[in-house]
Amino acid sequence: LCAFVAPADAQTYPTRSITMIVPFAAGGPTDVVARIVTGHMAQTLGQSIIIENVVGAGGTTATTRAARAANDGYTLITGHMGTHAASVPLYPKLAYHPEKDFEPIALLAGTPILILARKDYPPKDLKEFVAYVKANAEKVNAAHAGVGSVSHVSCELLHSILDIKPVGVPFNGTGPAMNALVAGQVDYMCDQIVNAVPQINAGTIKAYAIATPERNPSLPNVPTTAEAGLPKFQAQAWNAMFAPKGTSPAILASLNAAASKALDDETVKKRLLELGSVIPGPAERTPEALATLVKNEIAKWTPVLKPAT
């Protein structure tokens, strides 16, 4: 007797296009990583993957929708450190729980955080920036992608280290926030590298430092926060793919395999690395590893963010 027979839908999956919810505006870091990876996954799965940008409330509107979607493998979400960890302490009435309402599929990328400013911002380097924002805390402003987004949470961490509370300017993603920074409409932002590399290389914004222990190969001239005088500020975000709870193990396995194959593809790798992403190794790509990451990140951010609410 056969001990386990996968349901017929799981055996033939996917038979139609898949919707990938991106919880922020098009052109931002989550969108860019999702498009690069799903572009390759669609070839492996033999069906198109349609990106749907659903914005609002720091990504929690979209994540609520994904949690409530049918668990048939046809609606997925590319979430991140904000939607699937930092949102838990920041939103006491969050309509989903990252661990209870989702099946982890795969970690897609690690994304270091940079302190960025508009091109004509007076401080020349990180030391000057620190002195400037401390001296002008009531008039400086920091763009972010909504409460609980990576950019918000990262700058919250920076502000707690500097002991300042500047005005936050929320956008529907750091894609539009970056446009405002380039246009000089906001002062600074703590953003993921994927969004920053093209603008830094084009000379349209300033980068004070990268908040990781090592410099990033895509931005060899940008100092680390330790080199620039603020070693306490360390921040790296991540993007990962999730399905609604109860999605069949066979479907999850084929999605995980397709995501992992995408991360091994030379073209995908090159594009992600050029944008400064850290590509997870095979052991970090398993659903189990992602479940552990989500658990650990919720535990890490809860004491940091709870007092701020």
Least distance to ligand MLT, CB of residue 116, Å: 12
DSSP state of 10: H
Read off the tokens for 104.
């982890």
Least distance to ligand MLT, CB of residue 174, Å: 3
269: Cα separation from own chain's centroid: 17
Least distance to ligand MLT, CB of residue 9, Å: 31
149 vs 247 by CB, closer to ligand MLT: 149
Read off the tokens for 280.
């997870």
Rg (CA), the chain: 19
149: Cα separation from own chain's centroid: 8
Indicate the SS3 state at residue 246: coil
With CB atoms as reference, the residue minimizing the distance to ligand MLT is: 28
φ and ψ of 302, to 5 deg:
-60, -50
25 vs 251 by CB, closer to ligand MLT: 25
Least distance to ligand MLT, CB of residue 136, Å: 23
Least distance to ligand MLT, CB of residue 206, Å: 18
54 vs 150 by CB, closer to ligand MLT: 150
| Best CA proximity match to 21, nearest among 72, 57, 81, 64 | 64
10 vs 186 by CB, closer to ligand MLT: 186
28 vs 89 by CB, closer to ligand MLT: 28
60 vs 247 by CB, closer to ligand MLT: 60
Least distance to ligand MLT, CB of residue 59, Å: 6
Q: Count the neighbouring beta carbons within 10 Å of the beta carbon of residue 101.
A: 18
Least distance to ligand MLT, CB of residue 39, Å: 17
224 vs 239 by CB, closer to ligand MLT: 239
Q: DSSP E strands: which ranges in the chain? A: 18-22, 49-53, 75-80, 102-118, 141-144, 167-170, 188-192, 205-210, 236-244
User: Which stretches of the chain bind ligand MLT, using CB under 6 A?
Assistant: 24-25, 28-31, 80, 82, 145, 149-151, 173-175, 191-192
